[in-house]
Amino acid sequence: MWVVNNRKIFYAISSLLIIASAVSLFVWGLNRGIDFTGGTLIEVSYTGERPTQASIVSALSTIDPSVSVRPSGTTDYIVRMKTLAQEEKPAIAAALGGGTVKSFDSIGPVLGAEALRKAYLSIVLVILAIVLYITFAFRKVSEPVSSWKYGLTAVIALAHDVIIPVGAFSILGHYAGYEVDTLFVTALLVVLGFSVHDTIVVFDRVRENLHTSQGRETFAQTVGKSISQTFTRSINTSLTTLIALVVLYILGGSITQHFTLALIIGIAAGTYSSVFIGSPLLVTLNDWQKKTK
């Protein structure tokens, strides 16, 4: 019952995180990668001593002042810059200081804008499908909270789980140059699935306990008991996943680091919302419902 009894504290923590994320997005926005803006992505490798990052940036800035150069391992650089014309490629090769170009990918601005639209659409469709599924799965639960309210609380929890990693990447984009790309969107979709899985487990236990208690305890007590019964499972499942992700973030390649970090932040937020936000919100909605009668 301690989660339900102290739910206002957990609401306040989430509210502060969401406000900070919203302010960051409003002030700085997201540092979108070439997947969404269009541009050129070059991966270059060096067999001998690798030139300094500053020297590569200086050489390429004459072609594109906004060029981004990021180390990859101990021998490679990943270069992001504007869409290049064919006649600019020899100058790029010379500026790279004799490195071997492992990949050279260009994405036009039209394709980038289309990818951005599809990213928004995919997130909206996933959330809509989840809400419809939860409403259908809990359709026989009408007392004391209607089935559609289970779907509503799931939406609020899912919004929480998306806004926080997006806000974190907005801050990281401003201070550390982190970019969001299609891999970031993939991470958000994974987070949504992981989060709703935990939420449904708790909701399902609430449904079972409502049938067995048959009015012998308050709804708040039923929800509190359900959270207690699933608490250890939720924490253990998330913790083992987070341990694997942290190891992948530390030891994995730089290409997957941002993707892994988005998963770490999102799954941590999703676990928190499943236990401390989603189910307690059912109690809050029930209390509001009583006051309006």
Least confident of 91-100, 162-171, 284-293: 284-293
Tokens 């072609």 belong to which residue? 63
Which helix (DSSP H) or strand (DSSP E) does residue 139 occupy? none
Domain at 197, CATH number: 1.20.1640.10
With a pLDDT cut of 70, the percent of the chain lying above it is: 95
Are 286 and 141 members of one domain? yes
Cα–Cα distance for residue pair 45/169, rounded to 1 Å? 28
Are 142 and 166 members of one domain? yes
Are 122 and 21 members of one domain? yes
Domain-ending residue, one of 107, 125, 151: 107
Are 201 and 57 members of one domain? no
pLDDT category, 11, cuts 50, 70, 90?
very high
220-262 per-position pLDDT tens digit: 888 888 888 988 888 888 899 999 999 999 887 777 888 999 9
Are 170 and 277 members of one domain? yes
Contact 201, 270 (CB under 8 A): no
What is the domain count for the chain? Answer: 2
Are 66 and 155 members of one domain? no
Domain-ending residue, one of 82, 107, 132: 107
Domain-ending residue, one of 80, 107, 134: 107
Inform me whether the pLDDT recorded for 215 exceeds 70. no
Which is nearest to 289 in space by CA: 148, 87, 84? Answer: 148
Cα–Cα distance for residue pair 186/182, rounded to 1 Å? 6
User: For residue 52, what are the domain limits?
Assistant: 39-107
Which pLDDT belongs to residue 110? 59
pTM above 0.85, yes or no: no
Are 272 and 285 members of one domain? yes
Q: In what order do the strands lie in the sheet with 68-72?
A: 68-72, 76-81, 39-45, 100-107
Are 84 and 155 members of one domain? no
Are 288 and 143 members of one domain? yes
112-148 per-position pLDDT tens digit: 677 778 878 888 888 888 888 877 777 776 667 777 7
Averaged over 172-181, what is the pLDDT?
A: 85
Are 186 and 70 members of one domain? no
CB hemisphere CA count around 75 (13 angstroms): 9
Averaged over 87-97, what is the pLDDT?
A: 80
Are 182 and 78 members of one domain? no
Domain at 83, CATH number: 3.30.70.3400
Averaged over 26-45, what is the pLDDT?
A: 83
289 burial class (0-12, 13-18, 19+ CB within 10 angstroms)?
Answer: middle
263-287 per-position pLDDT tens digit: 999 999 999 998 899 888 988 888 8
Are 116 and 79 members of one domain? no
Estimate the crossing angle of helix 147-176 against helix 7-27, to 10 degrees.
50
Least confident of 100-109, 147-156, 266-275: 100-109
